[in-house]
Amino acid sequence: MMETLKSKSAFKTGAFTLVIIFVVIIEIFYRQPLFDWSLNAIETIQKDSSASLDSFWEVITVLGTQAVLLPMFFIIYIFKPLKCSYLFLSVLSLSVFIDNLMKNVYANPRPYMENPKIIIKHCDAGFGNPSGHSFSSSATYLAFWHIMTDIKWFKVNIGTKIFRVMLCVLTILMIAAIMFSRFYLGVHSLNQLIYGSQLGFILYFFYFFYLDFHKYSHGEFFNLFYKLGSRIAHGVLFVALIVLNFGLYLFNTHDTTNYNKIIEQYCPKIYLYRRFDNDAGINSLTIFAMIGAYVGLALILSWRNSIDREGERYEELDNWNSTNCKRFWIRLALTLILVAVSMSLFLIISGHSSIPLIIVFKIILSFLLAGLCLFGLIIYLSIKFKLAHENFDIMEGGYIGKLNERDDVIIEIKTI
């Protein structure tokens, strides 16, 4: 990714940078006016609420959580090329990381913390700006739509193209519904929702229109994990993000005494690590899933090139999960088991544990192992035990044909 950034035109880079600066600066001017307006607007909306409406918007708000976003990732992981699953994981991880990093910078309250007349219909105890639901859903829902519809069928005629646009409109409407649910539940103001969605759209455009990540050739994608320069650049980037996050988390001294009293009164069951600075600083550490994925793919590339001296079988590796039905079900079972094992610490360690224990084992180690498992161990075992792309089978025999002779090689081996 770092090398690709260098190759982009100065005009494109400058324009994209100006957009980011504009969004960040303009937020300063509408933050307080829209926040103040929201305090009265939410109170007014909630006066006409009912139990059925509360239940409906509670369901909608769940659509912007990991309970839905992670299954979306697994759909891509199981059915789409490796490049697409890494792309979606990057968008998801970075949206969570950037959102929580900025929450720790702004340290802005949620509406119900400022207006006692707002009914707390959904307990959230982190800072409010920007909205994480708006950020993550804007970035990931659009990424999911783009990845799943980026196939020839949606481009063959005007009818399928219109259908693709209609799906995009429905995706945006879903994002808007998730945003409104946060407003109705009293956990986000309008300025927080707008800012979160703007950042989500920027992250989506960054990957799909600035980097054009989904258009990378097989070689361009895998060189991100194999070339020494790219590995060093990514290593420096990951270390910088982690240091920045811990720096903000450890040295911020936000006074949340009054807000904590509200939490204790209305939402006492929320764990300490899910409150304010803790919530922002610890949630950002889910970036370790992306770090684990990068390390896993780097290891796979090193191993793959040690048995494929030609170093040309990128297409088979990208489509490693394209197999027959029997292999698919065995590999799916293997995936579910290994992911459950890798995330076991997250489930086992209680939310009442000490903060250092939660940071190291519940968050960092769990997400790091999950990334390594999905993009390293599972792929390795699938290839090793012939559960991956059928063309990998010939790699175990020690004879590797040239890329343009691949079909003849396969036929020759099957004949023997």
Taking alpha carbons only, the member of 253, 234, 230 closest to residue 242 is 234
| pLDDT at 306 exceeding the cut of 70 | no
Query: Sorting pLDDT into bands at 50, 70 and 90, what band is 13?
Result: confident
**pLDDT tens, 328-349?**
999 999 999 999 999 999 999 9
What would the pLDDT profile of 204-240 be if each residue is shown by its tens digit?
A: 999 999 989 998 988 889 989 988 999 999 999 999 9
Domain boundaries, the chain: 2-415
Position 145 confidence tier, pLDDT thresholds 50, 70, 90: very high
pLDDT confidence of residue 103: 95
When pLDDT is averaged across residues 173-198 and rounded to a whole number, the result is 96
41 is written with which tokens?
A: 């607007």
Residue 255 — pLDDT band, cuts 50, 70, 90?
A: confident
243 pLDDT exceeds 90? Answer: yes
pLDDT of residue 412 exceeding 50: no
Q: Which of 145, 205, 280 is nearest to 20 (CA)?
A: 205
Question: For residues 91 and 254, which has the higher predicted lDDT (pLDDT)?
Answer: 91
Torsion of CA 343, 349, 352, 357, to 10 degrees: -90
Long-range CB pairs of 44-49 (<8 Å, 24+ gap) are 45/183, 45/184, 46/118, 46/119, 46/121, 46/184, 46/186, 49/119, 49/121, 49/184
Give the CB-side neighbour count of residue 237, counting CA atoms within 13 A.
Answer: 16
pLDDT > 90 fraction of the chain, expressed in percent and rounded? 67
Confidence band for 401, pLDDT divided at 50, 70 and 90? very low
End-to-end CA distance of the chain: 43
Mean predicted confidence (pLDDT) in 372-378: 96
3-state secondary structure at position 82: helix
Residue, of 323 and 106, whose pLDDT is higher:
106
Q: What is the mean pLDDT of residues 360-388?
A: 94
Range with lowest mean pLDDT among 91-95, 366-370, 374-378, 409-413: 409-413
Residue 253's pLDDT band (cuts 50, 70, 90): confident
pLDDT at 74: 95
pLDDT of residue 413: 34
Q: What pLDDT shows up at residue 304?
A: 79
- What is the mean pLDDT of the segment spanning 194-198? 97
Amino acid at 51: A
Q: What pLDDT score was predicted for residue 18?
A: 92
Q: What is the pLDDT of residue 398?
A: 40
pLDDT of residue 286: 93
Are the beta carbons of 117 and 43 closer than 8 angstroms? yes
DSSP conformation letters of 92-144: HHHHHHHHHHHHHHH-PPPHHHH-TTS---S---S--SS-HHHHHHHHHHHHH
